[in-house]
Structures are given as structure tokens and as C-alpha cells.
Structure 1
Amino acid sequence: MNVELSSEREARLSLERRRHREAERRLRVFDDKLRTMGVDTDVLAAQVQEKKRQEGKAKQEQAAFDADVLHQSKAAALLQNRQTKQKLALQKALETFRSQNQQPQTRREFDLNDPDSWKKTDQSDAQMILPGLVGEDPAKSSREQRQKEQLREWLIQQQAELDASRSRQEEEEQRHNRSREETLNRAGEHLHLQAERRKEAAVATQNYNLAMIEEKHRRKQQNDPDYDQETAAVPGFSPSADVRPPPETVQQVIQFQKYQIQEKKRIEMEKKQEDERHERVRLDSARAALLMERRQARLGKQLRQQLDSANGQLAQTHKQQSVRPRQPSRPSLWRLKHLLPVARLVDRKPDIERGQIDESFFLKFNTCSR
């Protein structure tokens, strides 16, 4: 007697339910009349109904909100109109009260500001202003006279101060001129004294030189043995002992300047030639780079043309082979070199790309419901 456990029974029932669901699903999916590309129409219909219900609910809420807003707007407009009418009525009542009970004639100080008071006053009631009241100036003439005298005194004082300042300035200028003249005179005297001193020194030197020359001649005539030693020790008396290089002449200076100018021109010319050489090298390099770039572009274009022609020939060959079989011929060297690698790549393509499809291709579909 086989006893079935509860766990086994539940597992068996669960397996049967799954198998039943899978069979129903397989029938529904593989049936052309019931299948809708794997989409559950009932769920979609339920979703559509739910969406419509939500949209209807949202429309109802929006309509209720709009109605409430419209009601509140109308109430606010009515309240504003009421307040405006009340404000206008209050202003009208205020103007009416002022026109009836607050006229200018009823004010206490109206008689002071009445523009028609002179019309209402009689000539007999009019009174003259008493002397000494505010607004009357009986000492006007004397005051103006004192002001004129004070102004005259001020002008005289200012003129005196101006004259004094001018006199002080003139005195200062005179003192400055005198001091400058004294300084110039003192400087002239000093220069004159220096010139006199230089003149006296020159005369003394000349006298001393003449005396020395006379003494030299005298000793030379007397054949003094000490004369040779003294002349050898004193510079200027022995031409052989006091030999100095002659100073540069003007012609030598001009020649040296010309040499400097020529040297500068030569340096500038060398620099210019160096710049021109660098420029030529740069232009040659740019020209060579441009020629190389053009050559590379031309080679690339030729390679693309060769590749396009090879692809075209390969496509033509493949098309002819697919239309009718060709007799095998002996391939040329160029064909073996260029077309064979491409043909190998074409042979590696799947059957669907080569146009050869058999029944095994369709057996790959609908093998499972998943």
C-alpha cells in the first residue's frame, strides 16, 4: 500500500498546476487567432479603464475646484464693490458736512485772512500806524549816511594796505637786486684776482725759465761738469731721456671712426644674411612638408581607388557566381594576392547573408513559449 505524504501531494498538485498553466499559455501563445504578439489584452483593458477612471476623477476634482474658485471670486468682487460704495458714501457725507457746518466765514480767525476786508471797512474806521511801531525806520537817512562813511573808511584802509604791500614788495625786490649785484661784483673781483694770479704765476714761470736757459748757456759755455747731471735729472732738458709718444692726430681719429662704422655695417650685414638663411631654411622645410603631405594624400587616394576597384571586381565576381556557375580557371597572381583574403572573409559570412537558407533555419523558432 502506497502512502502519499502531504508534502508530496502538494508538490504534485503544484507541478500539475504549473503544467496546466504552461499548456494553456502555450495554446494561447501559439494560436494565431488568440495571440496578440505576447501582450495581455485583459490587463491592458483594465489599465485603460483605470486610467479613464482616474482621469474622470481628476476632471471632477478640477471642476469642483474651479467652481469653488469662481464662487470665491464672485464673493470677493461683491465685497469689494460694497466697500467701494461705503467709502464713496462716507466721503460724500464728509463733504456735505463741511459745506454745511464748516464754512470759512464761521472760523474765528477769518477776519485776519479775509481778502475782502478792505471792502468791508469804512474810511472813518481806518486808523494810521503809530510812529515807533514795528516796520517803521525813522533814522533811515542817518543810518545810510553812517553806512556810506563806514564803507568809505573801509575802502581807504584797503587801499592803504595795498599800497603798503606794494611798497614792501618793491623794497624786497630792490634788496634782492642789490644783493645779486653785490654777489656778481664779488664773483667778478674773485675771477679778476684769479686771472691776475695766474698771469703773475705765468710771468714768474717765464722769468724762471729764461733764467734757467741763461744759466744753462752760461754753464755750457764754461763747460761745467755738473750741468750734464742736472740736465739728465730734470725732465725737459734732456730730449733723449724725456721721449713721449706723440698724440693722436685728427686723421687717425677719423680713420678709427671709419673703421668702427665699417665694422658695424659688416656685423649688420652678417646678421641680415643669417636671418635670410634661417628664412630660406624655414620656407624649404614648409615646402617639403607640404609636398610630403600632398604625396601622402595622393598615395592614400590611389590606395582607396585600388581598394574600390578590388571590391567592385569582387562584387561582380560574386554576383556572377551566384547567377550561374563558372568554370574554374587558373587565378592570376594579382587575384591571388588581393582578392583571395577578401573572398575568405566573404566565405566566413553566415548562410543568411550569403542568400542560402534551408529548413533548419525556420526550425529554430517557436521551440519554447519563453
Structure 2
Amino acid sequence: MALAQPRDLEQYLALGKRRHNELCRQKRIFNARNRIIGGDAEAWDVQVHDQKIKEATEKARHETFAAEMRQNDKITCILEGRERRDKRSLCKAISDFQQHFQRPETRREFDLSDPLALRKDLPARQSDNDIRNTVSGMQRFMGEDLNFRERKKFQEEQNREWSLQQQREWEKARAHQRCAEDLYLKTRLQFDERAKHLQNLESATRKAVCTAVKEFNKSQATESLERKIREKKQEQEDNLAEISNLLRGDLLSENPHQAASSFGPHRVVPDRWKGMTQEQLEQIRLVQKQQVQEKLRLQEEERQRDMDWYRRRVQTARAALLRERWQQRQQRDLRRALDCSNLGLAEEQRAQKKYMEEVCTNQPTEDYFTQFNTRSR
């Protein structure tokens, strides 16, 4: 019998450990419920334990809050009772203060509600200067004062003095008016005499002015007549000179050289130009004929060019048609070759399939499939 060495024991323990791990792994993997649903009892137990701890903690916290709330309620009740007592004490102190220091007779408006007001009241009118006799009180009217007799006598004396003073002022005013009328009459006579003298002077001056104006107008008329005669004579001379210049000048004589410009022989003066000469007209007609011939030549060249392009287009179209037909023939040939090749491949595939059916006769059984998925690796 061989002795077990420490190394053998270690190998045996390692082998047993691997076998145990393999069995545990197979149990987890081959258990369809755990593999598909993914249930983990240990994790669930841990979660339940944590939930219970959490609930206990919440319960303890709520109990702490409840105790604190009860304590606060007690304190609130005590404070409310103290506040009510303080309020009653304050109301009592206010009432005592009003009874001792705020009596009705010490108020400012007590006279409005005083029951003995009629006994304490004064008469409605004591004198004419009583400050209580206001307008709204209607205790004193015009002519109902206490000094009516003395006032009436004084007014009569005053009226008499006023009448005498008015008479004196009236007499004085009449005397002033008479003096003013005399002065006005004298002044008016002086003004009339002076106006008459000025009128005479004005008449003499007007006559002198009229005479001078008449003489001046006569001299002006004479000068105007002489000036018109001179102007008419000068105008006739100017007209004769202008007619002579026009008849002898280049404007009516149709001189073609007067239109020559100093800037060159090809330039003319527009306001003096009388038209082109016969040589210039002949040259223009010659140039026009040349232009017509050149245009006909260009048209003929363009027609020839269009004919060439037309022939080229026809040839190109014919070549394209021939090439297209050749391509169609090539495609038909390729299609026939491809069809032949496909037929050959189909025959080969059918032959191979028939051969495989004849050679491969064994079918897989259940034992063949059970040899798979026996380990966790």
C-alpha cells in the first residue's frame, strides 16, 4: 500500500474542490428556473433583511417625531394659557387706567354730550361785537344793532356834509369848464388862421410845380421823338447790311468748303455742312455693293457648312445604328452561351445530389444529440 504524500493530499483536495465547484456551477447553469428567471434566494434574503432594518429605523424615527410633537403640544398649551392670562391682565389694567385718568368730563368733545350743557350755555347775543355772532348763526342783521339811534343820527349828519361838498365841487367844475371853453375857442381861431395861410402857400407851390413838370414833360417828349428817329434810321442801316452780308456770304451761296473743319479733312462743322458731294455718294454706293456681295458669299459658305454638318449627322446616325445592332447580336450570343453553361451546371448538381443520396444513408439518432451539453464549460 502506497503512502499518501503531502503533494498527493494537496492534489486530492484541489481535485475535490474543482469537482465541488463544477457541481455547483452545473446546478446553477442546468437549473432552467434560475437560469431563465434569474432568481437568487440569498440575494432575496439579504434584501428582505435590509427592508426589515429600514422599516425598524423608520418606525423608530416616527416614534421619535411623535414624542417630540407631544412635547411641542404641551409647550403650546402652556404658552396659550400664559397668553390668555397676560391678555386678561392687560385688559384689566387698561380699564383701570380709563376709569382713573380718562373720565368723560376730561375729553375734548365732552361738551357735545354734556347733560348740563343748557345750564352752562351763554345767551345767544351779548353785544354787537360778540365773536359768536357768525354769519351762519343769524343773530345779527343789518340795521338791528344795539346803537341804532346814534348810528342813524350820525348817518344823517354825514349825508348833509356830503351834499354840501358835492355842491361846492359842482360849482368848481363849472368854472373850470367855462375857462376850458374860452381857451378852446381862442386856439381854434389861431388854427384856422394858420391853416388858411398854409393853404395859400400850398396853392402857390402846386402851381409852380405844375409849370415845372409841364416844361420837363415837353423836353422829354422832344428827346424821345429824336431818339426814336435815330433808332429807326440805325435799324434800317443794320437791316441793309445784314441783307448784303447774307447775299454775299457762304450761307446762301452753298459753298461746300465752308464746312471744312480745322481738326482734319474727315471732320466737318455741323452748322455749316450742306450735304455730301457726288464723289462721297458714289463711294458710299460702291461700299454698299461690296457689302451685299460679301453677305451673299457668307450666306453661301454657311449653306455649304450646314450641308456638311447634315451629311456628318446622317453618317454618325447610320454608324450608331449599325453598332447598336452589332451589340444586340453580341448580347444574344452571350445569352445563349450563358444558358448552355447554366444547363451544364444544373446537370452536374442533379448528378451530385443523386450521388449523395446513394452514399450518405445513415441518419442521426438521439444518442448523437445527448453527447452535447454534458459539462458546464
Structure-1-length-normalised TM-score: 0.35
Q: Determine which structure has more spread, i.e. the larger CA radius of gyration.
A: 2
Structure 2 length normalisation: TM-score? Answer: 0.35
